[in-house]
Amino acid sequence: MNVTERARVRRIPKRGAYDSETIYAILDAGFLAHVGFCLDGQPFVIPTLYGRSEEKLYLHGSAASRMLRQLETGVPACVSVTLVDGLVLARSAFHHSMNYRSVVAFGTARKIAEPEMKKEALRVISEHVIAGRWNEVRGPYEKELKATSVLEFAIEEASAKIRTGPPVDEEEDYALGVWAGVLPVELEAKSPVPDSRIVDGLEVPQYVLRFRNR
Ligand SMILES: Cc1cc2nc3c(=O)[nH]c(=O)nc-3n(C[C@H](O)[C@H](O)[C@H](O)COP(=O)(O)OP(=O)(O)OC[C@H]3O[C@@H](n4cnc5c(N)ncnc54)[C@H](O)[C@@H]3O)c2cc1C
């Protein structure tokens, strides 16, 4: 992927990566993004779902969303996705850290107006979050499509940053009687909770169980 100075990792550059494979793998493992943009000189960073197809991210929401209305004007935007893999507990307060995989992507968005393309982008978002759901649910009515704004964010350039491994302490601190190591963490899906008005006899779909056990 192309990288200019804007996207080059300067702080601990060895943790930076710019190849599409690494960046897409992180984007595909997550589904929550934080979208940054400026409005009248005020930066906003708004959490939102996304889907990915090649170098495009799809964002959606209410047609009244300020974030989407601002982004569709083509203002420069920055999308960041973070996966936390562990708390890195060092012997000194200073050397505590996190294990993580994150992506910072720069680009601009455009509104998708054509209904079939809009539906396809919504399918991409839905399948990105929980694969298999789109084929089961009722598709959007025309009025629902109208009430939904869908944007295509074209990634112009992006960086990934990845930290793995144990804490790195000062040599003299390894002798301290302080427990140190990594506390691995991950997002975990619990047992599905059926809605109280579900039609009798329906089992939890396989794709829901697959998501839970992924
Ligand atoms: C879960 C998590 C927790 C973190 N906690 C802290 C913390 O508490 N304190 C702290 O200082 N830092 C923390 N970081 C690291 C932080 O994201 C920055 O990398 C770091 O602060 C350096 O920022 P900078 O603006 O000086 O980076 P620079 O290296 O100057 O940034 C230049 C460019 O590098 C890229 N870049 C920078 N950081 C990232 C990133 N994380 N992922 C992808 N691309 C990146 C961007 O394109 C950016 O424009 C954390 C990261 C994660 C993922």
Q: Would you state the CATH architecture of domain 13-186?
A: Roll (2.30)
Domain ranges of the chain: 13-186
pTM: 0.96
pLDDT tens by residue, the chain, 214 residues: 778 999 999 999 999 999 999 999 999 999 999 999 999 999 999 999 999 999 999 999 999 999 999 999 999 999 999 999 999 999 999 999 999 999 999 999 999 999 999 999 999 999 999 999 999 999 999 999 999 999 999 999 999 999 999 999 999 999 999 999 999 999 999 999 999 999 999 999 999 999 877 6
Ligand 1 midpoint to CA 83 (Å): 13
Ligand 1 midpoint to CA 162 (Å): 10
Q: What are the pLDDT digits (tens) for 89-119?
A: 999 999 999 999 999 999 999 999 999 999 9
Ligand 1 midpoint to CA 15 (Å): 10
Between CA 208 and CA 131, with CA 65 as vertex, the angle to 5 degrees is 15
**The residue type at 157:** E
Contact yes or no for 78/105 (Cβ under 8 A): yes
Residue nearest to atom 25 of ligand 1 (CA): 11
Q: What is the CA radius of gyration of the chain?
A: 21
Contact yes or no for 98/86 (Cβ under 8 A): yes
Q: Residues lining ligand 1, judged by CB closer than 6 Å?
A: 6-11, 82, 84, 98, 100, 102-104, 159-161
